[in-house]
Amino acid sequence: MSRNTNLSYFWKGCRNSVPFIFVAGPFGMLFGVLGSEGGLSLTQVMTFSFTVFAGAAQFTALQLMREEAPTVIVLASALAVNLRVAMYSASLTPYLGAAPLWQRALAAYFTVDQSYALSIVQFEQGPEMTLQERVAYFFGTSALIAPLWYGMTLTGALLGSTIPDSWALDFALPLAFLAMIGPMLRTPAHVIAALVSVITVLLAGGIPYNLGLLVAGVAGMMAGAWTERYLERRVAEA
């Protein structure tokens, strides 16, 4: 019965991830196209996608590489963009932290915006789920998206500049983040963090190598943390 339940949650994760196919596909293809146009070989493009498996960090690093930014800036920027994944991991630890090491290692690799957003909502809404049911659901959220990402990256790298600009593949990135971030703004701290980061990135747009994104990320996290502590103190005083 437990095995059937685990399988049921795995397929539920797959079904819930279906809408993200329409984002991951164009997003992966765009990276393949830009990587190819940026001078990377097919092997380099695919190795990039397989080893990093983080779209926003890949695009950040690729853009800075094309601008011939210093290696330190490329690495620091890509890592900073992916700092959110560390917060995702901390948030998922109460639900997946007791899983075997090999499952946690795989989960760390597949922890991206889409898998986190779907999983954290499911786990919060289903406190009765067992550990293996949560693991099964989490991996289900990536079972369709990961192969699609690799396949479409390969397609984009092979097609290169033959893909017309009218397809507007780059529009997939903002759509993806808007779709994921919108439902997650559930507390005043979330809203303040988002607003501060947006305002900061606009004000810091002139900083070279897009380092304004790093400044905005830090400012947003600080504002969110301060807001949360302030509200908790008000509740305690009341």
Same domain for 153 and 39? yes
In the chain, the amino acid numbered 147 is: P
Together in a domain, 165 and 191? no
- Find the mean pLDDT for residues 198-222: 84
Mapped onto helix, strand or coil, the DSSP state of residue 187 is coil
One domain, residues 33 and 144: yes
Measured between its terminal Cα atoms, the distance across the chain in Å is 48
Higher pLDDT pick, 1 / 58: 58
Q: Residue 217 sits in which domain range?
A: 186-238
Q: What is the pLDDT of residue 14?
A: 96
Q: Note the pLDDT tens digit of each residue in 98-155.
A: 999 999 999 999 999 889 989 999 999 999 999 999 999 999 999 999 999 999 999 9
Asked if residue 88 lies in contact with residue 111, where contact means CB atoms within 8 angstroms, the answer is yes
**Do residue 69 and residue 162 come from a single domain?**
yes
Residue 1 confidence (pLDDT): 47
As for how many domains the chain has, the answer is 2
Q: Are residues 207 and 152 in the same domain?
A: no
Q: What's the confidence (pLDDT) of residue 177?
A: 63
DSSP string, 208-238: GGGTHHHHHHHHHHHHHHHHHHHHHHHHHH-
Query: With 70 as the cut, is the pLDDT of residue 212 above it?
Result: yes
pTM for this entry = 0.73
The pLDDT tens digits for 5-56 are 899 999 999 999 999 898 888 888 888 888 887 788 899 899 988 988 887 7
In this structure, are 192 and 177 located in the same domain?
no
Is 191 found in the same domain as 180?
A: no
143-193 pLDDT per residue, tens? 999 999 999 999 989 987 676 767 666 666 666 566 656 666 778 888 898
Q: Is residue 176 located within the same domain as residue 159?
A: yes
Query: 212 and 172, same structural domain?
Result: no
d(Cα 146, Cα 158) in Å, to the nearest integer?
Answer: 19
Same domain, 207 and 91: no
